[in-house]
Each structure stands twice: as C-alpha cells, then as structure tokens.
Amino acid sequence: MPTLLDLTSQGDVGTITDESKLSASYTLQTPQQLYELWERQQWQSHVIDLSQDREDWMALSEDDRAHLSWNLSSFFIGEERVTTQFSGLVQAYEDQSEEAYLTTQQVDEARHAQHFNRFYEQVVGLDGTFDARLERARNDLNPAFIQLFDGELVQSGKRLIADPTDIEAKVDFVTLYHMIIEGTLALTGQFFITEYLEEKGILPGFVEGFRLISQDEHRHVAYGTWFLQQKARDPALRRRIADRLMHLIPIAAGVLVPPGADPYNFEILGYSSEQTNGFAFKALNRRLKVIGVDMAAAAA
C-alpha cells in the first residue's frame, strides 16, 4: 500500500476539487454555533422522491450497477457503523454546548442511514428488513473497510464508553471519526459520486439526499477540527494525533481500493486513484494545518 508520506504529498497532483465546498470544513465554529447551524439546516430523508431513481437504476447496465453498488454499500454500512458507535463521544462532552452539538450528530448519522436504506429498498430493490439490507450490502466491503469500521472504530468507541473522561481516548476517537472516516473518506466519496451522477443526469433523488448528507458531514468535520485544535495545544496530545493518523492513513487508503484492483493504480467511476487520493489527502493536510499537526515532521 502507499506509504504515509506518499499519501500526504499527493494533494497538488491531478486533483479535482471544489475549494468553496472544502473551505466550509475549516471554519472553526464552536459547538454552540454548530448546534445553532444544525437547527437551521434540518431536512427529512423520507420525503425525498426516489421514483425517477428507480427508472434510472433499471436502465443502467449490469456493470454500472455493480460499480455503483460497491461505492454506495460502503456508505450504507458506514452510516450504520458510525451511528451505533457514537454514544461514547456523546458521553464524553465537556460542557453543555458540546453535549447539545454531539447529540445532533448522532441524529444526523441515523438520518443518513435511513436515506440509504430507502434507496436500497425502493431503488435497488432489496426486499426484507433494514438489517437484511445492511447484511446484503456487507458483501461488497473490502478487508480494509472491515478493519477500519469493525475494528478500529469499535475499539475506539469501547474505550470511550469505558471511561468518558479519558481525554486520550476522546482524541483518538475524534481523530479516527472526524478526520479519517468523515473528513478523508466520506467527503471524498461524496464529491466524486455526486459529480459522476450529475454528469450522467441520473438518480436525482439520491443526489438530493447525498448533497444534504454532505452538508451535515461538513458540519461534523468542523466540530472535529475545532476540538482537535483545542487539544493540540498540548504537545503530548498533538503528537498523539499525529501518531494515530500515521497508523490509520494506510488503512483508510485501502478502503478506497475497489475489490481486485491494483492498490497503486485503480479507477473509481472513471476517476483515477491519483485523483481520489489527491483529493482526500489534500483535504486532510489542510485541516491538519489548521489543527497545528505537522505529519511530515511526525514521520521523520
């Protein structure tokens, strides 16, 4: 797999990016401000019209459906995983404003999972229960995804639940959840999948929901950036953030690789690995500069 320094130096090479969208993640709003923003940005997953999406899905080739299913399954399972593993962070709030904000994020994640469940039921056509559809989507996951979401995320959550006052456990969780899962993987996938679907003019209901999910994720990543900037003032915690990232980034890079593909040279929906990795890790590097973490120095 690519090394840490390979990944964190790709940002200026062949990258497709929208700076106006990315910049929203770097505004260091406080938890109180982010809670108030959440109140202004409400939406309902169950009112989105998916009727055209069903027609579009049936008109796709079998290969196109398979490629999209792999990409969307990672999000469907990912939203379920992050919803169920978030309670420890809610318990670890440090003041009332942070508590209020964190509860909104767990609600957001459940709403995102509901959007994907509706899509898999009404568009992809998977009958049965919510749980059964999740189990079917799991067939599309690669080993790196399992390691990150069923291993690293679950263990980080258990540590925080065991002791919500453990600041090192909280820093570890936010680094994984907000910087890697949301800030690096989710926002990258959302950008490229949305661009692909809009260029083809298909799945308008899914795109509508996905854009609203991305709006929520930017708010989440803004919290993580704020929190880690506060904690990185402590040199020991700043080093801990860097060490955690050095461990997690190679795993995250593997999550982006389609099944059976060359991990150094692959395509996702027509976008090259250079483009997807460049977008993902350029965004991460920019956030780390705001936080005050120097990955190159940490890796030296």
The answer to whether 21 and 218 are in contact (CB under 8 A) is yes
What is the rounded distance in angstroms from the CA atom of residue 250 to the CA atom of residue 215?
Answer: 27
Q: Which two tokens stand for residue 300?
A: 């030296």
Q: Which two tokens stand for residue 69?
A: 């299913």
What pLDDT is recorded for position 28?
87
What pLDDT is recorded for position 14?
28
What pLDDT is recorded for position 206?
98
What pLDDT is recorded for position 11?
35
What distance lies between CA 261 and its chain's CA centroid? 22
What pLDDT is recorded for position 99?
98
Average pLDDT along the chain, 300 residues, taken 10 residues at a time: 42 31 58 97 97 97 90 93 95 98 97 97 94 93 95 97 98 98 93 95 98 96 97 97 96 89 86 90 91 76
Dihedral angle over CA of 82, 37, 288, 245, nearest 10? -10
What pLDDT is recorded for position 297?
63
Pairing of the two strands 271-272 and 267-268: antiparallel
Report the predicted TM-score, pTM, of the whole model to 2 decimal places: 0.89
Domains of the chain by start residue, with CATH: 4-13+31-41+49-299 (1.10.620.20)
